[in-house]
C-alpha cells in the first residue's frame, strides 16, 4: 500500500499541534488525556504567577521612586522649621539697620556697631542663599495670592489697582515652596 500524501486529516493535525505543545515536557506528563488538561492548567497558573511577578516588580519600582522623592524633599526642605524661626531674627536685624539715623552712622563711636549689624545681616543672607531660601519680590508687582498677603489697601491714582505699593514684611521661598508670604499694602482706586 502506498501512503496517501495529501492533506492531513483533522486527527493528524490535532496530534501534530499537541506534539508541538508537548516539546520540552517530560514524557511522564505527556499523557494525551488528563495530562493535557493538567498542562493547560499549569500553563494558566504560570501565566498568572508571571503577571503577579510583573505587578510586584512595577509596585517595587513605584515604591522606590516615592522613597527617592521623599528623601530628596527631606534634604531640600529639612531646614523649613528652623528657617521660619530665623526669619524673625533677620527681620529684627533689618529693622535695626533701617532705624539707625544717618548722623549716627557717621559717628565714630557707632561705626563699629553699625558695621557689626550689617555683617551679621550679610551672614544671615549668605546662610539663607546656601539653603535655597530666597526673598520674594513684591514692590511694584501685581498681587500674587500664592506669594503675597494683602494686609491693607491704599488709595492710589499712580498705579493700577492690585499693584503692591508697600512691603510691610518680606516674604521668603525655600526652593520652590513658600516659607512665608510677603505682607504687603496694595493699591486701590481712589475714592
Tell me whether residue 15 is in a domain. Answer: no
pLDDT at residue 12 tops 70: no
Mean pLDDT of the 95-115 span: 88
Give me the percent of the chain exceeding a pLDDT of 90: 54
Q: What is the pTM of this model?
A: 0.63
108 and 66 housed in the same domain:
no
User: What average pLDDT is seen over the chain?
Assistant: 85
Number of domains in the chain: 3
Domain of residue 169, CATH code = 2.30.22.10
pLDDT for 36: 82
Domain check: are 149 and 118 in the same one? no
Region of 140 please: left (phi>0), alpha (psi -120 to 50) or beta. Answer: left
Cβ contacts of residue 125 below 8 Å, gap of 6+?
A: 90
Distance CA 158, CA 155 (A): 9
Q: How far is CA 66 from CA 60, 71, 93, in A?
A: 10, 9, 40
Query: Is 175 part of a structural domain of the chain?
Result: yes
Are 73 and 83 in a shared domain? Answer: no
Res. 97: pLDDT tops 60: yes
Mean pLDDT of 77-106: 89
| C-alpha atoms less than 13 angstroms from C-alpha of 53 in its C-beta half-sphere | 6
Report if residue 53 sits inside a domain.
yes
Residue 10 lies in a domain: no
- Asked whether residue 27 is domain-assigned, the answer is no
Residue 111 lies in a domain: yes
Strand 148-155 relative to strand 182-188: parallel, antiparallel, unpaired? parallel
Residue 74 has pLDDT above 90, yes or no: no
Enter the C-alpha cell of residue 12.
493528524
163, pLDDT greater than 60: yes
In terms of pLDDT, which residue wins out, 33 or 83?
Answer: 83
**58 falls within a domain:** yes
Do residues 57 and 46 share a domain?
Answer: yes
Task: Write down which residue in 113, 131, 149 finishes a domain.
Answer: 131
Query: With contact defined as beta carbons under 8 Å apart, do 135 and 115 qualify?
Result: no
Query: DSSP letter string over 138-191?
Result: -TTSBP-TTTEEEEEEEE-SSS-TTBEEEEEE--EEETTEEEEPEEEEEEE---
**Residue 11 in grid coordinates:** 486527527
The pLDDT of residue 102: 87
113 and 142 part of one domain: no
Identify the domain containing residue 163 by its residue range.
134-188
As a whole number of angstroms, the distance between CA 135 and CA 148 comes to: 12
Residue 67 predicted with pLDDT over 60: yes
For the cut 70, the answer to whether the pLDDT of residue 137 exceeds it is yes
Q: Is residue 22 part of a domain?
A: no
Amino acid at each position: 500500500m502506498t501512503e496517501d500524501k495529501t492533506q492531513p486529516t483533522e486527527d493528524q493535525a490535532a496530534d501534530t499541534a499537541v506534539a508541538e505543545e508537548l516539546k520540552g515536557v517530560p514524557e511522564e506528563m505527556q499523557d494525551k488525556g488528563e495530562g493535557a488538561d493538567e498542562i493547560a492548567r499549569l500553563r494558566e497558573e504560570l501565566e498568572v504567577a508571571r503577571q503577579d511577578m510583573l505587578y510586584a516588580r512595577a509596585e517595587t519600582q513605584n515604591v522606590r521612586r516615592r522613597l527617592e522623592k521623599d528623601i530628596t524633599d527631606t534634604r531640600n526642605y529639612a531646614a523649613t522649621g528652623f528657617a521660619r524661626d530665623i526669619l524673625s531674627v533677620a527681620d529684627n536685624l533689618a529693622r535695626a539697620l533701617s532705624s539707625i539715623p544717618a548722623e549716627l552712622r557717621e559717628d565714630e563711636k557707632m561705626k563699629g556697631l553699625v558695621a557689626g549689624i550689617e555683617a551679621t545681616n550679610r551672614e544671615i543672607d549668605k546662610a539663607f542663599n546656601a539653603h535655597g531660601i530666597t526673598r520674594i519680590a513684591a514692590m511694584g508687582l501685581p498681587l500674587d495670592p500664592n506669594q503675597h498677603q494683602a494686609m491693607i489697601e491704599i488709595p492710589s491714582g499712580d498705579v493700577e489697582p492690585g499693584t503692591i505699593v508697600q512691603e510691610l514684611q518680606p516674604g521668603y521661598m525655600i526652593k520652590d515652596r513658600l516659607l512665608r508670604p510677603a505682607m504687603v499694602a496694595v493699591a486701590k482706586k481712589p475714592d
